[in-house]
């Protein structure tokens, strides 16, 4: 009954947000990336993707619990939306039944490291260990080795990105931060997301955010009403023949 009530509430909020977006709120650029890295020759992760047609990716970082995970998965299943979950090794090993469910329900799984450290503070050997053991743990549980990596805290340097690439991992950031980890209200979360998304956006959320599950139906309904399509990160990014511009946007080489 509580889920149904939240769903009805989300429909009303979504309708209001559709009008807001239609009025011109859907005007985001890569959050912070251009300001920090413009003109830089640094090795960059993928913040967003040059895409036409309104494809976007919802992502959930998994590190600190599962309290909201059932509700999130229920919404995704009912909405027929596939997303990407980035799991820390210790989370995967503590909640293998959730990781299996995530994968079996059609979602993509990437690694979020082994111990959730600041990756830029590690040596090359330590970085490799974080990526290898976490990838192996995920593969052991779901039977598929991840090829996507999200650095904890969004923290990286050239060594982190280059090491991950050498290990066959695409490093994934985001250009839309829901800030659900700050315990914002559901309406604040949904407003932040729908007001910043553009075609090719990667949206950051967390599986255990206090109001993430409540905000998710609004985000999905509103963005769909405005022509966006949800795909996992692995279906959003280009796998070859691409470049990453100074803002962290991935671009096919023929368009670079």
Domain membership flag for residue 146? no
Active site residue 157: no
Domain contains 169:
no
107, 112, 116, 206: the active-site residue: 206
**Is 72 part of any domain?**
yes
Concatenate the DSSP letters of all residues of 8-39 into one string.
HHHHHHHHHHHHHIIIII-----TTHHHHHTT
How many structural domains does the chain have? 1
Active site residue 162: no
CATH code of 198's domain: 3.20.20.370
From first to last of its 256 residues, the chain has per-residue pLDDT tens of 444 444 545 544 444 444 444 444 333 333 333 333 334 578 999 999 999 899 999 999 999 999 999 999 999 999 999 999 999 999 999 999 999 999 999 999 999 999 999 999 999 999 999 999 999 999 999 999 999 999 999 999 999 999 999 999 999 999 999 999 999 999 999 999 999 999 999 999 999 999 999 999 999 999 999 999 999 999 999 999 999 999 999 999 876 5
Of the residues 61, 177, 180, 221, only one is catalytic, namely 61
- SS3 of residue 51 by DSSP: coil
CA distance 17 to 25: 9
Report if residue 102 sits inside a domain. Answer: yes
pTM: 0.85
Q: Tell me if 152 sits within 8 A of 113, measured CB to CB.
A: yes
Contact criterion met (CB below 8 Å) for 67 and 95:
no
User: Containing domain of residue 14, as a range?
Assistant: 2-81+90-107+174-255
HSE value, Cβ hemisphere, 13 Å, CA-based, for 200: 18
């Amino acid at each position: 009954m509580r889920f149904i009530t939240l769903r009805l509430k989300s429909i009303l909020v979504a309708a209001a947000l559709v009008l807001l977006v239609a009025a011109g709120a859907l005007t985001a650029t890569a959050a912070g990336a251009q300001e920090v890295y413009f003109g830089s020759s640094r090795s960059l992760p993928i913040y967003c993707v040059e895409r036409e047609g309104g494809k976007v990716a919802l992502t959930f970082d998994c590190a600190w619990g599962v309290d909201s995970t059932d509700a999130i998965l229920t919404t995704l299943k009912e909405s027929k939306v596939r997303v990407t979950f980035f799991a820390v090794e210790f989370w995967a090993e503590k909640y293998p039944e959730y990781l299996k469910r995530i994968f079996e329900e059609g979602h993509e799984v990437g690694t979020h490291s082994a111990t959730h450290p600041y990756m830029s503070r590690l040596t090359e050997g330590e970085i490799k260990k974080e990526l290898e053991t976490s990838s192996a743990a995920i593969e052991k549980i779901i039977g598929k080795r991840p090829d996507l990596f999200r650095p904890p805290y969004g923290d990286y340097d050239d060594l982190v990105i280059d090491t991950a690439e050498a290990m066959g991992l695409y490093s994934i950031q985001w250009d839309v931060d829901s800030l659900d980890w700050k315990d914002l209200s559901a309406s604040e979360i949904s407003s932040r997301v729908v007001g910043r998304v553009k075609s090719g956006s990667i949206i950051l959320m967390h599986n255990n955010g206090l109001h993430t599950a409540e905000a998710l139906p609004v985000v999905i309904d509103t963005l769909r009403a405005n022509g966006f399509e949800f795909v996992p990160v692995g279906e959003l990014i280009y796998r070859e023949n691409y470049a990453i511009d100074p803002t962290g946007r991935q671009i096919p080489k023929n368009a670079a």
